């Protein structure tokens, strides 16, 4: 199998999607628990809750935005 390089865009997208899926799972599990659903096949995940995943997601977006900034384009000279 050929080894391929994973770029920053792919890493960002993969982690962002993973965090969104984790949040959706936590929310669904919590709703099922509230209505008395059988959670025997739904494992508790090793995160402390919504705050932890939301905080990581915010941090991820902040760092992505900071690293994606491009310098403003140079203005062209105008001779009048």
pLDDT 10s per residue in the chain (80 long)?
A: 567 777 777 888 888 888 888 888 888 888 998 999 988 887 877 766 677 777 887 888 787 777 766 665 565 555 55
Q: Is the pTM of this model over 0.75?
A: no
SS3 57: helix
Alpha carbons 63 and 65: distance in angstroms, whole number: 5
Buried b (16+ CB within 10 A) or exposed e, 47-74: eeeeeebeebbeebeeebeeeeeeeeee
């Amino acid at each position: 199998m050929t080894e391929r390089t994973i770029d920053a865009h792919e890493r960002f997208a993969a982690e962002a999607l993973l965090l969104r899926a984790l949040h959706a799972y936590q929310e669904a599990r919590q709703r099922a628990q509230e209505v008395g659903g059988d959670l025997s096949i739904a494992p508790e995940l090793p995160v402390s809750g919504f705050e932890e995943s939301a905080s990581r997601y915010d941090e991820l977006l902040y760092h992505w935005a900071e690293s994606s900034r491009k310098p403003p384009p140079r203005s062209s000279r105008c001779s009048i």
